[in-house]
Amino acid sequence: MSLQQLKIPKRKDVINEFKARGGKIAAVLPIHYPRALFRAFSILPIELWGPPKIDNSFSGSHLQAYVCSIVHNALSFLKIGGLDEVDFILVPHTCDSLQGLGSLLVDFVTTTKKVLTLYLPRDKGEPGYEFLGHEILRIYTILSQITGLHPDDALLFDAIHIEEQADKALAELYFKRKKLGLGNMDFYRLIRTREFLPAEHFIKLSQSVLSVSAAKSFNGLPVVLSGIIPEPMELLDELSRMGISVAADDLACCGRRLYQPGVSMNPFRRLSENLFSAAPDPTRGDSLESRIQYLKSLVYKSKAKGVIFYDVKFCEPELFDLPDLKKALKGQGIPSLTLEVDINDPISSQMLTRIETFLEVIR
Amino acid sequence: MSIFSHIKYFMNVKLGARSYIMFNRWRNARRPLRWNTKYLAPPLKVDKITKELIALHYLDGHYVDGRKSVAWVTSGAPVEILQALGYYVIYPENHAAICGVKRKVVEIAGEAENAGYSLDICSYARTDIGAMLSGKSAVGTLPKPDLLLACTNICQTVLHWYRILSYHFNVPLIIIDTPFIYTEYSDADIEYVKNQIEDSIPVAENVCRRSLSFKKLQNVVKMSKDASELWLQIIQRGTHIPAPISAFDQFIQMAPIVEMRGKAATVNFYAALLREVDERIKNGVGAVVNERKRLLWDNLPIWHRLRYFAEYFGTMGISVVASTYTNAWGELAPLMDKDRPVESMAKTYIYPVLNRSAGSKLGTIKRMAEEFHINGVVLHSDRSCKPYSIGQIDQRNRLIHDDRMPALLLEADHNDTRSFSEEQTASRLDAFVEMLGI
Ligand code: SF4
Ligand code: SF4
């Protein structure tokens, strides 16, 4: 099956349709945030991972060259009018660079959009849970003031339940990925619709994919992809062309956001539990040991032959962990390859050569 | 403490070091001064005490094994609890800065780079990780930690860095996470930090097998506050014309306030420094002999070029009289309260300039510019330090356009000499000095 048959809507159309029904739009920067909270206010979160391949020279008048391309692009995109149709911008405190961007948007960059920030606690104990609950409540209060809406617990839980179902659908797609018969590009195009589709649409789309049994499965040499984001996405086609199948991923925009449902009956606590539940992530302060164990388990479960670390240049959260992750994998006889990209650059022939050499090693 | 380690410590630190210091003083007194006194005031008399304090601190660390538990700590961490528990405390950032001053960074950080750590991560972290992997250092060997304490009030970099240390040394890591202040902090923010500090106490007690005495903690907090208040007064003496102390002096003299907060010796040291600075004021001595213009420095110093900048500006009659960086250690002083140590620590440690918005930092720069009668601002855009540097382009533009204040954005790295071009810097400085009307 190809995704063409499934008709994935375009972001722009999703935004227009949602707005036409009286909803508002929030542009959300990486990585973790409480989707359901926004939906309870009839606000659709649309994620902003860059976007790649835009003229990013506009951000140079605010940001130094040693800041990652995701942050540069987000600011350029805002300045060239890419966010004109959104009502809010949410900047989660993911790293020093996004902290800087949040601060610039609040203090220096002129925008008509309401800028919200979210501090994600790095404490893993009770203080962290409690604090995140407060942060979410703080955003609830701001959204209430702006929209005049005050969704009660029942409404909040409606939104929470539907997002939890969407998370479950996402997990199922991952679980059954081999049987779906999708190539690398199609699988990730499908998965990444979670970045902009309303949860109910995503669930429907997932169900229609899951209900069709594949004529033949995509059989390439399995690898695990780790990093922030598979951009430019042509990489995925190139991997397919070389006969590599991405069998599992530890990508911040994808596999690191397979959230579990919470248990609390307090909606704010429940959302905190949800955000804390996903795979180990350095930006949330998870230990290196937990990342190593997680990566190894991904390799074993997916029977991958190696790991490709596909990192964004200047991304400290990823760069710090790399040497020990690679060493630990090597200790288990798992080869790995590191590639660093600027999300604006096309896939270089040098990069392709490196992947081909890696392929020789793992074959 | 074992008797053997006690004797070893006594022989080497108490007896050996004292004799070495006496010998060093005698030797240094006979060395020709490597200081351009035609343009700059002679070095501060306390300079040698600073060096001795630091040398003794690291020497102490060589013989700490079996005597005290060792903690490695970030510069802005609530260290008072560890001091009150009797830990020997190492600040990897300070150690890295010493390596920077002694131009050892390329060699030591190179060890980390060879092990796969990217050149794009903070050079303090690379220096420290290089030291950890190779044992290389500018101060002999560093004692291994029993505990790590990282506070995110300066950056998230320390979170990533200390996770690596924790993994390699296999010791517990306490993280005190401080929400970033975009506008104002809330009660929930303070409560969160306070709860974490409280939770850290049993962990720290468990490692050193001692119980925290509330009285001791109060005493340490009081001494931290006293030292910070003295430091604040010293910095504020820079408002005098001519300024008796330069930012370059402050960069050197700030080591004890970072490294030895909460100790009586630190309070005494700053009291002595304040007396010396006041004596300079009384005698009309300026840090720069012929002070014509006054600058403010933003961001970390460029450790490997302190003398270069001091002399360049000095020869032009320019005194760099203040810095947002050294100010950060003083402005928190009023927030400390020995009667409510934990809560006041939460309020203190959430509030450093690096944990506040870019707009708030611009406010600090503007306030200081007025207070210190500043003619221009040098914003060191530090490749290694994103949290300090992002926002500087706008800060510079606002200073130039709103306040008609000459402002220079200077690209470099606080520790890595490879990101510094002397030629390029010189031509940018020349152009800037022209703007100042010199
Ligand atoms: S790529 Fe890395 S540095 Fe850039 S925004 Fe994402 S986490 Fe931050
Ligand atoms: S220099 Fe900057 S990034 Fe590096 S440890 Fe210090 S505050 Fe963090």
Provide the sign of the torsion angle of the four alpha carbons B210, B216, B218, B219, taken in this order.
negative
CA distance A305 to B168: 27
CA distance B243 to B286: 5
CB contact under 8 A, A283 and B156: yes
Query: Is the CB–ligand 1 distance for residue A94 below 6 Å?
Result: yes
Residue owning the nearest CA to atom 1 of ligand 1: A315
Q: Is A111 on the interface with B (CB under 8 A)?
A: no
CB distance B199 to B192 below 8 Å? no
CB contact under 8 A, A317 and B389: no
CB distance B166 to B160 below 8 Å? no
Instruction: Give the residue, out of B117, B154, B156, B160, with the most ligand 2 atoms within 8 A of its beta carbon, to mutate for a pocket test.
Output: B154
Residues of chain B contacting residue A326, judged by C-beta atoms under 8 Å apart: 116
Q: Is A90 on the interface with B (CB under 8 A)?
A: no
Residues sharing a CB contact under 8 Å with residue A351, sequence separation 6 or more, in sequence order: A339, A341
Nearest alpha carbon to residue A24 among A3, A4, A43, A49: A43
Whose structure tokens read 């896939």?
A: A347
CA distance A318 to A234: 22
CA distance B95 to B137: 8
Nearest alpha carbon to residue A247 among A276, A265, A270, A224: A224
CA A308 to chain centre: 18
Query: Is the CB–ligand 2 distance for residue B385 below 6 Å?
Result: yes
Query: Is the CB–ligand 2 distance for residue B155 below 6 Å?
Result: yes
How many C-beta neighbours within 10 Å does residue A98 have?
A: 24
Nearest alpha carbon to residue B298 among B331, B320, B314, B330: B320
B309/chain A closest Cα distance in angstroms: 23
ipTM metric? 0.96
CA distance B296 to B124: 23
Instruction: Give the residue, out of B93, B120, B123, with the most ligand 2 atoms within 8 A of its beta carbon, to mutate for a pocket test.
Output: B93
A240/chain B closest Cα distance in angstroms: 28
The pLDDT score that the predictor gives to residue B397 is: 98
CA distance B149 to A95: 19
The atom of ligand 1 lying closest to the CA of A311 is: 1
Instruction: Give the residue, out of A32, A47, A56, A97, with the most ligand 1 atoms within 8 A of its beta carbon, to mutate for a pocket test.
Output: A97
Q: Does residue A33 sit in helix, strand or coil?
A: coil
Q: What DSSP character marks residue B212?
A: P
pTM, 2 dp: 0.95
CB distance A98 to A91 below 8 Å? yes
Q: What DSSP character marks residue B16?
A: I
A207/chain B closest Cα distance in angstroms: 39
Q: How far is the CA of B157 from the centre of ligand 2 (A)?
A: 6
CA distance A275 to A273: 6
Give the up-direction half-sphere exposure of residue B367: CA atoms within 13 A in the CB hemisphere. Answer: 10
Q: How far is the CA of B75 from the centre of ligand 2 (A)?
A: 9
Most B CBs within 10 A among A96, A137, A139, hence the mutation to make, goes to A96
Tally of residues, chain A: 363
Helix (H) or strand (E) holding B165: helix B157-169
Q: How far is the CA of A327 from the centre of ligand 1 (A)?
A: 23
CB contact under 8 A, B186 and A67: no
Mean pLDDT, chain A cut into blocks of 10 residues (363 residues total) = 73 97 98 98 97 91 97 96 96 98 96 96 96 98 98 98 98 94 94 98 95 74 98 95 97 98 97 96 97 98 97 98 98 98 94 97 93
- Taking the CA of B385 as reference, the closest ligand is 2
CB contact under 8 A, B386 and A127: no
The atom of ligand 1 lying closest to the CA of A316 is: 3
CB contact under 8 A, A119 and B159: no
How many C-beta neighbours within 10 Å does residue A6 have?
A: 17
How many C-beta neighbours within 10 Å does residue A60 have?
A: 14
Domain of residue A163 covers: 1-363
Q: What is the CATH number of the domain that holds A161?
A: 3.40.50.11900
CA distance A132 to A140: 12
Nearest alpha carbon to residue B317 among B372, B401, B398, B243: B243
Tokens of A78: 């805002």
**Chain A residues 310-339 within an 8 A CB cutoff of chain B:** 313-314, 316-317, 319-324, 326-327
Q: Is A274 on the interface with B (CB under 8 A)?
A: no
Instruction: Give B300-348 pLDDT, tens digit per residue.
Output: 999 999 999 999 999 999 999 999 999 998 888 889 999 999 999 999 9
Residues sharing a CB contact under 8 Å with residue A294, sequence separation 6 or more, in sequence order: A250, A279, A280
> At A2, which amino acid appears?
S
Nearest alpha carbon to residue A346 among A189, A243, A230, A234: A234
CA distance A103 to B382: 18
CA distance B397 to B387: 18
CA distance A122 to B196: 11
CB contact under 8 A, A127 and B357: no
Could you read off the pLDDT tens digit of each residue along chain B, which spans 438 residues?
567 777 777 777 766 776 777 777 667 766 766 778 899 999 999 998 998 899 899 999 989 988 999 999 999 999 999 999 999 999 999 999 999 999 999 999 999 999 999 999 999 999 999 999 999 999 988 999 999 999 999 999 999 999 999 999 999 999 999 999 999 999 999 999 999 999 999 999 999 999 999 999 999 999 999 999 999 999 999 999 999 999 999 999 999 998 888 999 999 999 999 999 999 999 999 999 999 999 999 999 999 999 999 999 999 999 999 999 999 988 888 899 999 999 999 999 999 999 999 999 999 999 999 999 999 999 999 999 999 999 999 999 999 999 999 999 999 999 999 999 999 999 999 999 999 998
Query: Is the CB–ligand 1 distance for residue A190 below 6 Å?
Result: no
CA A114 to chain centre: 22
> What are the φ and ψ backbone dihedral angles of B410, each rounded to 5 degrees?
-115, 115
Q: What is the DSSP string of B254-297?
A: THHHHHSTT-HHHHHHHHHHHHHHHHHHHTT--SBTT--EEEEE
The pLDDT score that the predictor gives to residue B33 is: 63
How high is the mean pLDDT of chain A?
Answer: 95
Total domains, chain A? 1
Residues of chain A contacting residue B392, judged by C-beta atoms under 8 Å apart: 64
Reduce the secondary structure of B173-203 to three states and give it as a string.
Answer: EEEECCCCECCCCCHHHHHHHHHHHHHHHHH
B420/chain A closest Cα distance in angstroms: 15
B110/chain A closest Cα distance in angstroms: 14
CA distance A241 to A362: 16
Query: Is the CB–ligand 1 distance for residue A338 below 6 Å?
Result: no
B325/chain A closest Cα distance in angstroms: 18
The pLDDT score that the predictor gives to residue B36 is: 80
CB contact under 8 A, A64 and B389: yes
Instruction: Give B236-271 pLDDT, tens digit per residue.
Output: 999 999 999 999 999 999 999 988 889 999 999 999
